């Protein structure tokens, strides 16, 4: 199935590395112009240079509202409109029992994983998506579906994002569609924090016999953004090599 994004414009938060970079690459390859964001300039600059002139970048903490507003204004100036938003930036700063979670980490997790996707959706909606329409994809996690020993509050924020996806799908239709991709374990910097012994156990629980790649997730996001998914909204698309259906252990 060929996905066409010719002439479309997008913002991908957390687009400098990992899954977000691959989503940006996929969109640019299919004809879109993309603004990527993230906190570190060097990584953004390198990714934008690799993707070519259709990829612009702005440094911005995802949950910093004034900075996010400036990014959206920049995209509007550069593109004239924003057709797609990919809320991909996410963080997982705790590795331990949820009962021990410290307040600053809870605040960070909630702000970046749960509040920021709503903030960015508000901004693109008000910038014109409510008039010309568009599509939003939130990057959640299969962790939202099951308790894990060490990433409980991260999972809770992703479960909230699954809910928000359905809520906004209902609120923003028919102008905009809102869907989510829920990855299983994908080999990126974020997943590198998982100890080797645990990785082996996780791999054993994946029927497809391998960890995901950023391209696996980007393909799903690209489809959900595209017109091919024109009657699809409020859906959370699990992309996990079969781990959930096989009852495999979820990371963390």
Q: Which residues are catalytic?
A: 154
Q: Please list every residue from 112 through 131 that binds ligand NAP, using CB under 6 A.
A: 112
Distance CA 225, CA 10 (A): 10
Among 82, 137, 180, 185, binds ligand NAP (CB under 6 A): 185
Q: For residue 89, give both structure tokens.
A: 């930036």
Please report how close the Cβ of residue 26 comes to ligand NAP at its closest, in angstroms: 13
User: Does residue 235 touch ligand NAP according to CB under 6 A?
Assistant: no
Please report how close the Cβ of residue 216 comes to ligand NAP at its closest, in angstroms: 11
Distance CA 105, CA 174 (A): 37
Site map (CB under 6 A) of ligand NAP, residues 59-88, x = contact: --xx-------------------------x
Among 19, 23, 220, 236, binds ligand NAP (CB under 6 A): 19
Distance CA 208, CA 80 (A): 42
Torsion sign over Cα 68, 119, 180, 100: positive
Task: For ligand NAP, give the closer residue by CB, 11 or 139.
Answer: 139
Among 6, 77, 100, 189, binds ligand NAP (CB under 6 A): 189
Among 51, 56, 186, 218, binds ligand NAP (CB under 6 A): 186
Among 9, 151, 165, 188, binds ligand NAP (CB under 6 A): 188
Q: Please list every residue from 134 through 163 that binds ligand NAP, using CB under 6 A.
A: 139, 141
**Total residues at interface with ligand NAP (CB under 6 A):** 28
**For residue 168, how far is the Cα from the chain centroid?**
16
Distance CA 70, CA 146 (A): 37
CB 103 within 8 A of CB 146: no
Among 3, 106, 159, 190, binds ligand NAP (CB under 6 A): 190
Distance CA 248, CA 246 (A): 5
Among 16, 114, 151, 233, binds ligand NAP (CB under 6 A): 16
Beta strands in 40-79 (DSSP E): 55-59
Task: For ligand NAP, give the closer residue by CB, 1 or 210.
Answer: 210
Q: For 238, phi and psi rounded to 5 degrees?
A: -80, 125
CB 155 within 8 A of CB 148: yes
Strand 236-239 vs strand 176-183: parallel, antiparallel, or unpaired?
parallel
Distance CA 152, CA 21 (A): 26
Which region, judged by CB under 6 A, interacts with ligand NAP, from 39-47, 119-127, 202-210, 219-227? 39-47
Q: For residue 51, give both structure tokens.
A: 């993707």
| Binding stretches for ligand NAP (CB under 6 A) | 13-20, 38-40, 43, 61-62, 88-91, 112, 139, 141, 183, 185-186, 188-191
């Amino acid at each position: 199935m060929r996905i066409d994004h010719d002439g479309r414009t997008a913002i991908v938060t957390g687009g400098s590395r990992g899954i977000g970079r691959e989503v940006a690459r996929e969109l640019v390859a299919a004809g879109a112009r993309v603004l990527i964001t993230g906190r570190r300039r060097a990584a953004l600059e390198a990714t934008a240079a690799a993707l070519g002139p259709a990829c612009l970048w702005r440094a911005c903490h995802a949950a910093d509202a004034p900075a996010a507003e400036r990014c959206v204004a920049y995209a509007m100036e550069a593109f004239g409109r924003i057709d797609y938003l990919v809320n991909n930036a996410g963080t997982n700063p705790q590795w331990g029992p949820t009962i021990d979670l410290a307040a600053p980490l809870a605040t960070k997790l909630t702000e970046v994983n749960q509040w920021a996707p709503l903030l960015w959706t508000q901004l693109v909606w008000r910038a014109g998506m409510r008039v010309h329409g568009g599509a939003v994809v939130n990057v959640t996690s299969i962790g939202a579906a099951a308790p894990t020993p060490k990433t409980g509050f991260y999972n809770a924020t992703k479960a909230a994002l699954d809910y928000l996806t359905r809520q906004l799908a209902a609120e923003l239709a028919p102008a905009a569609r809102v869907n989510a991709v829920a990855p299983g374990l994908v080999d990126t910097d974020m997943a590198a924090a998982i100890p080797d012994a645990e990785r082996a156990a996780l791999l054993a629980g994946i029927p497809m016999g391998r960890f995901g790649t950023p391209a696996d997730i980007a393909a799903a996001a690209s489809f959900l953004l595209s017109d091919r998914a024109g009657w699809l909204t409020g859906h959370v698309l699990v992309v996990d090599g079969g781990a959930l259906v096989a009852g495999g252990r979820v990371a963390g």
